[in-house]
Structure 1
Amino acid sequence: MKFGGHMPLWLLVAIQVVVSAASLVVEIVAGRMLAPYVGMSLYTWTAIIAVVLAGFSAGHWWGGRIAGRPEALRATGWTLIGAAVTTALAASLLRWIAGPVLAGVDHPVWAIVVLCGAVFFLPSLFAGVPAPVLAQIGVQTGRDSGKALGALFAAGAIGAIAGTLLAGFLFISWLGSALTLAVVTVTYLFSGLLCLGWARARQVPAGLASVLALGLAGWAVAAPSPCQVESDYFCIRTVDMSTDPTRPARMMVLDHLVHGTSARDAPQVMFTDHAAMLDGLSRIRATRPDYSSFHIGGGTYSIPRAIAERDGGPVTVAEIDPQVTRIAARDFWFDPGTAEILHMDARVALANRPDRYDVILGDAFTDIAVPAHLITHEFYQLVRMRLEPGGSYLMNVIDFEDRLQVLGAVVRTLQTVFPVVEVWTEAAAPAPGQRMVFVVVAGTERTALPGFRTRSPDPIRFAALSDAMVAGIAAADTLTLTDDFAPIARLMGPAD
């Protein structure tokens, strides 16, 4: 290959494809990298997309400013070196600043935006520079400027598609976030050095910058990951909570949230209020001791494990992530042979299987990340179709004492499908503004008991809210959740 002069169009197109692909890989990886700190939600992805687009826009403007200058190709090479260095730094930078940013910014949504901007704006800025420069060079390479521009615009789109597919279907699953960013770093370095070589720029500074980028990438790969397992869906960790080494207890963390705790020697004890309510109410409302149950989400499989320990009825679990099931069996004493496990979305599982169940338990709520398709009128209609006569649907809801917008929307929506809707919570007065855990019960009959006592893990009493309180919560608004409109992220989001 001969350096100097104008780059041929095919090489310009190749560089544009590679840079566009690399930049989209970074965007997809950003979601996985932020998840252990702020979770995966509408807010997280909105911040990522906005920050990356802002970086691209600023980079395109910068590239347009230098595109007609004689040193444009050399400057582009250096911006790609900059993209390599800042991409290599991203994983380490996120670990260093996440704690201070989240502690220093009061509003959690703005904290996500600030954190995302601090880590991912510069890689996107530098990656946005080459497009207008390469387009200008392409126009100058021949007489058919329209053909050159069309080829380069198409190359950018093709690269973006390829980067998205590679990140989502290949790189993260097989390499993990840090190693994926190392691959992107090398890709940017190769592209930048190619541009600098073609521009006949001095190689020593570029070599030193390349060593820096590779060193930062290697540092990030070697550093401890916040994830013990990076699955296709979650960053998964098992945390030892044992106070006595001979009586182990462990906690499962998916992304940044605890999704369950189990003790080896206490399979009947639930360690969270919502699990204790779901387990206790399912037994109270069941029409027979060996009731069949369908569980939306597995987590630590604490309730299926407790049912198996009681020699209960058949259990079906829809857990979308096979790695969660594998870790539940490895670390949380769950025997997969005691349940039918469906590694698919719960709504898809219920829609595709005609089986009926005595109890369906929904554990979809986390904090501000809730699968909207599992809380709609249409989904509740499907749930009722899959219940045996006299069967019950139970789901956990998290809301704030002084708002109850989410609880009200869920209750109103369930009331469009079920004749009886109850709300259960701890039988104690909440503190002002307290974040509360509820279980909403829907069916055709009322629960036989007004309350019950269990362990969570300490002794605790749960009770149903009065009919008047439930009616007041439901009457506070008119919104019902549908497949067309379920603004759960807005309802659950932090108050201003």
Structure 2
Amino acid sequence: MRLNLIVLVCGSVLMALEIVGSRVLSPHFGSSVFVWGSLISVFLAALTTGYFVGGKVADRKPYLQNLGWIIFLTSFVIWAIPLFSTQIIIFLIDLGLGVRFAPLAASTLLFFLPSMLLGVVSPYGVRLAAVEVTRMGKVAGTLYAISTAGSILGTLLTTFVLIPLLSVRTIFYGLGAVLILISLLALKRLSPVQALSRAGLLVLAWFFFLELPEPSIITPEYGEIIYQRDTAYHRVFLTQNEHYRFLRFDRSWQSSMDLRDPYKSKFAYPDYFHLAWIFNPDIHRVLIIGMGGGTASKKFYKDYPQVTVENVEIDPVVVDVAQKYFHVPQDARSHITVEDGRVYVVRNPGPYDLVILDAFFGETMPFHLMTVEFLQLVKERLTPHGVVAINFLGALTGRNSRLFRSIYKTLKTIYPQVLVFPEDWEPGDDTDLEGNLIILATLQSDPLSKDQIVQAATKLKSGPVKIPRLDEYAGRLYTRRIETDDVPILTDQYAPVEALRHL
């Protein structure tokens, strides 16, 4: 019973460590496949090493007390992770290792040692429990089953309970505290009942004393952090300076609000969505996938009384932040639904006059919102003069443009007209630099010239559209040829988003 409990808890802590490890890396490297691939590889390599070392050490010194000391040591290694992780990651970024190797190096330095030590537990437990060679298979199978069951428990508990409720730092402290407690089963020969009773007291102390407020961080432009929380999808930060409030997911800034006028933003890209009125002046029903701080939604709500906006956001925490800190309304003209954007489009037939895709996972859109299958589905939900507007972060040319050009190629297979409006870009500027690219796709078969688009924008801004620089934004229409021969059309079966963006 005692050994089974030790193996179960250590299995739980191991997987909790891997899940919460993604929250350490994502603010610096995003939530790409490279981050998860690095974490999984490092943990598997560490377990391989731990199994090998554990078997050797157990044969030489098969004592429960020795296992207790190994677990006790592991707790302090885990406690050190939140203390030094930021400095280690910044050091690796400064070395210029890139988006593929920096997460791998960080995962190795931060998580290899504690996961290797936890990997020692199962083979050590097998050696301690197997008193007869004839029962070795049964003992090994039972303990590894218990360890796997613990891993399942740790995964579910961390994903559905700990991360939504507690800070990353507190979770690390809690995992270390649990290991100290479980080590006492071996070091002090406590009974399982005694250990569990002390565990209850430790958990209470964890909740009431370790969940301390995070220290404020001052950034030169974005001010002081006034709110932060780990959700099922991001680490959400809210910062504020004298005049503006900002919303950030992991390492990407999403929205801003002028504290003097909640309908104004420091970021210009939401204003580009109003260019849709050039191609469809009779917009009444708008779907926005990806809410953020609700900048576009609020502006549509205020400026166009005839418009109904349907906001779809997958993260309920983001919805709460948007309503509480960015004053996004919810009534008959402003609907908010917590759901995956693609699932929402499948369930709702529309039709929509304007569909805006402004959803981000890390630094780019979720791949399933960029494929030809989804974009075709969106087309089927549009009115005859409907428009699709996409906010994309990327470059127009060069190595960093491959994902943008792939999306552009995908759109061109579906929509007769696809236009690109780079934010803060002028002819002659460097097209290799990353920035917000607003892509408009329409069902119109007869394209408008650049002059016609600018003229229409000039006329609109003196009428129903209250964007003073609308004609200037229209004039940023990118008219050079966009090369797509070297990039694929994105499909549900093949959408190498991370490779196109980073390799």
What is the TM-score of this pair, normalised by structure 1? 0.85
Sort the Cα spacing of 1:25 and 1:365 in 2 relative to 1 into closer, same or farther, 3 A: closer
* Alpha-carbon shift at residue 461 of structure 1 (Å): 5.9
Q: Secondary structure in 2 aligned to 1:441?
A: strand
Residue 365 of structure 2 corresponds to 370
- Residue type at the aligned position of 1:229: R
Do the aligned residues in 2 keep the contact of 1:423 with 1:464 (CA within 8 Å)?
Answer: yes
Q: Give deviations 1:84-133, integer Å, cap 9, x for gaps.
A: 00111111111333333322334233222222222222211111111111
The yes-or-no answer on 1:489 pairing with 2:498 is: yes
Residue equivalent to 1:423 = 420
Cα distance in structure 2, aligned partners of 1:303 and 1:130 = 53
Deviating more after overlay: 312-321 vs 261-270: 261-270
Deviations 1:418-461 (A, max 9, x none): 2222222233333263114322221211357444586789x766
Secondary structure, in 3 states, of the residue corresponding to 2:414?
Answer: coil
SS of residue paired to 1:164 = helix
Q: Aligned equivalents of 2:174 and 2:469: distance in 1?
A: 46
Percent identity reads: 24
Structure 2 residues without counterparts, runs of 5 or longer: 191-201, 217-224, 459-466
After the TM superposition, which residues 109-128 of structure 1 pair with which residues of structure 2 at under 5 Å, given as runs? 109-128=100-119
- Give, in angstroms, the shift of residue 255 of structure 1: 1.6
CA distance in 2, matches of 1:48, 1:83: 18
- Cα separation, 1, equivalents of 2:487 and 2:406: 8
Contact 2:453 2:474 in 1 (8 A): no
Q: 1:4 — aligned with what? A: none
What SS does the corresponding residue of 1:250 show, helix, strand or coil?
A: strand
2:311 corresponds in structure 1 to 317
1:462 is displaced (CA, Å) by 4.3
Structure 2 counterpart of 1:295, which letter?
I
- Find the aligned partners of 1:456 and 1:69 in 2 and give their Cα distance: 76
SS at match of 2:130: helix
Contact kept? 2:130, 2:136, Cα under 8 Å: yes
For 2:228, the equivalent position in structure 1 comes to 228
CA distance in 2, matches of 1:158, 1:40: 27
- Which residue number corresponds to residue 84 of structure 1? 75
Give the residue type in structure 1 aligned to 2:346: A
Q: Secondary structure at the match of 2:266?
A: coil
- Inter-CA distance 281–481: structure 2 relative to 1 (3 Å threshold): same
Partner Cα separation in structure 1 for residue 363 and residue 262 of structure 2? 29
How far residue 365 of structure 1 moved from its aligned partner, in angstroms, is 4.8
Question: Would you identify which runs of 4 or more consecutive aligned residues in structure 1 move more than 6 Å?
Answer: 217-220
Aligned residues: 460
Deviation at 1:143, TM superposition (A): 4.5
- CA 1:70–1:238 in 2, change beyond 3 Å: closer, same or farther? closer
Q: Secondary structure, in 3 states, of the residue corresponding to 1:336?
A: coil
Q: For 1:37-116, list aligned pairs within 5 A.
A: 37-116=28-107
C-alpha spacing 1:365/1:70, structure 2 compared with 1 (3 Å): closer
Please report the RMSD computed on the Cα atoms of aligned residues, expressed in angstroms: 2.9
Q: Equivalent residue of 2:481, what SS?
A: helix
Measure the CA separation in 1 of the matches of 2:259 and 2:304.
Answer: 17
Q: Which residues of 2 match residues 443-462 of structure 1 at below 5 A?
A: 443-445=442-444, 446=447, 449-451=452-454, 462=475
By how many angstroms is 1:142 displaced? 7.6
Displacement of 1:334 after TM fit?
2.3
Give distance in 2, aligned partners of 1:241 and 1:460.
27
Distance verdict in 2 for CA 1:438–1:447, change over 3 Å: farther
What code does the residue aligned with 2:309 have?
V
The Cα shift of 1:219 comes to 7.6
Work out whether residues 39 and 369 of structure 1, in 8 Å CA contact, stay in contact via their aligned partners in 2. Answer: no
> Cα distance, 1:273 vs. partner?
4.4
Matches of 1:25 and 1:234, distance apart in 2 = 17
In 2, distance between residues paired with 1:31 and 1:367? 12
Instruction: Give the Cα–Cα distance (whole angstroms) in 2 for the partners of residues 437 and 222 of structure 1.
Output: 34
Q: In the TM superposition, what whole-angstrom CA distance separates every residue of 1:141-192 from its partner, at most 9, and x where no partner exists? A: 6842222111112112111111100110111112332222222112211222
Alpha-carbon distance in 1 for matches of 2:241, 2:24: 25
**Map of 1:72-471 to 2, 5 A cutoff?**
72-140=63-131, 143-198=134-189, 224=215, 228-242=228-242, 248-266=243-261, 269-278=264-273, 280-288=274-282, 290-312=283-305, 313-337=307-331, 338-365=333-360, 368-400=363-395, 401-403=397-399, 404-425=401-422, 426-431=425-430, 433-445=432-444, 446=447, 449-451=452-454, 462-466=475-479, 469-470=481-482
Cα distance change on mapping 1:264 and 1:292 into 2, 3 Å: farther
After TM superposition, the structure 1 stretch with the greater mean CA deviation from structure 2, 135-144 or 233-242, is: 135-144
CA contact (8 A) 1:269 1:456 kept: no
Unaligned runs of 5+ in 1: 1-9, 200-210, 243-247
Instruction: Indicate the SS of the match to 2:476.
Output: strand
Question: Within 5 Å, which residues of 2 pair with 1:6-45?
Answer: 10-45=1-36
Query: Does the 8 Å contact 1:380/1:414 carry over to 2?
Result: yes
